Amino acid sequence: MKKTTLILGCGDIGMVLGRELLVAGHHVIGARRSVAALEGSGIEPLALDLLDEDALARLPDADYVVYILSADRFDEAAYRAAYCDGLKTVLRIYEGRDRAPKRLFFVSSTSVYAQKEGERVDEESPAEAAGFSGTVMREAERALRESALAGTTVRFSGIYGPGRDRLIRQVLERRIAPKTPPMYSNRIHRDDCAGVLKHLIGLDIAGQPLDDLYLASDCAPEPLHEVMAWLALQLKVEPTEVIQAPLRKRASKRCDNTRLRETGYVFRFPSYRDGYAQVMEEGGFLAEPV
């Protein structure tokens, strides 16, 4: 029978995921405030303010629910509303239904990790970030873990892709991260974000056991200086300014995606070189005058 997948927060990643699930034979419902972007996509639109608790009571039943909300600004109140309070409400609603989803997927972040010395981190590593973003994410993850619903959290690292090209633009401004101390960078292409979620849903449908947590980052954690130096080489730019971030804000860890790869997932863009080459070509950056 055709599976119904509900994507809560059907934005950039959600729309890519939705289109791929449609090809796989799913009935896909995309919930977001404004549904104009879903027109003609094949995704059934559901206009809904996902931060409105009363509105969430109208959520339809679904076999799979994917929670991909984004905060509309970088402060604790916005993060708590989008990632924590919203998820807790959704969990409470579906826990009270006669027909519960087979599994709910929550998109979290590697911001939960506090490591700053280039340590390798995986799903078993301590996640003790003191900043509000990591704290709120951990609280949301805990709510899913303690829910009666079957759930899986996916921690994405830095997402890039079409329209997510801030690093490219910094390099075009002739800026580069410092070489020392090395600040390791972890990234995942938008299409791999969608690919990972589709893959995990497919495993669950096939009756394969899933863990309650996966770290989703590509296979090439490298110092940010090296990433930007490679971009500068492709863009034929000579950096002239070193970006100096406050020490307290510097993160430096290497994300280990072994658990995810052991499920059989094959990255479409295994490294930033593969992914940024696509972004630069499709975005027309290689043709820009420098």
Note the pLDDT of residue 50: 87
pTM reported for the whole predicted model: 0.95
- Closest alpha carbon to 132 in 79, 56, 186, 188: 79
Mean pLDDT of the chain: 94
Edge-to-edge strand list for the sheet holding 44-47: 44-47, 27-32, 4-8, 64-67, 103-109, 151-156, 213-216
CATH number, domain containing residue 147: 3.40.50.720
Judge whether 138 lies within some domain. Answer: yes
Burial class of residue 272 (count of CB atoms within 10 Å of its CB; 0-12, 13-18, 19+): buried
Note the pLDDT of residue 247: 47
The number of domains in the chain is 1
What mean pLDDT is predicted for residues 39-47? Answer: 96
Note the pLDDT of residue 287: 59
Judge whether 245 lies within some domain. Answer: no
Judge whether 19 lies within some domain. Answer: yes
Judge whether 263 lies within some domain. Answer: yes
Note the pLDDT of residue 246: 56
Radius of gyration over every alpha carbon of the chain, rounded to an integer in angstroms: 19
Q: Which residues contact 247 (CB under 8 A, 6 or more apart)?
A: none
**Do 207 and 178 contact (CB within 8 A), yes or no?**
no
Distance CA 175, CA 172 (A): 7
pLDDT digits (tens, 9 = 90+) for 150-191: 999 999 999 999 999 999 999 999 999 999 989 999 999 999
Note the pLDDT of residue 264: 98
pLDDT digits (tens, 9 = 90+) for 232-284: 999 999 999 999 865 445 679 999 999 999 999 999 999 999 999 999 999 99
User: Which range of residues forms the domain containing residue 209?
Assistant: 4-164+187-221+253-270
Note the pLDDT of residue 249: 57
pLDDT at 36 exceeding the cut of 90: yes
- Closest alpha carbon to 252 in 74, 120, 107, 109: 120
Judge whether 140 lies within some domain. Answer: yes
pLDDT digits (tens, 9 = 90+) for 119-146: 999 999 999 998 999 999 999 999 999 9
Judge whether 242 lies within some domain. Answer: no
Judge whether 208 lies within some domain. Answer: yes
Judge whether 149 lies within some domain. Answer: yes
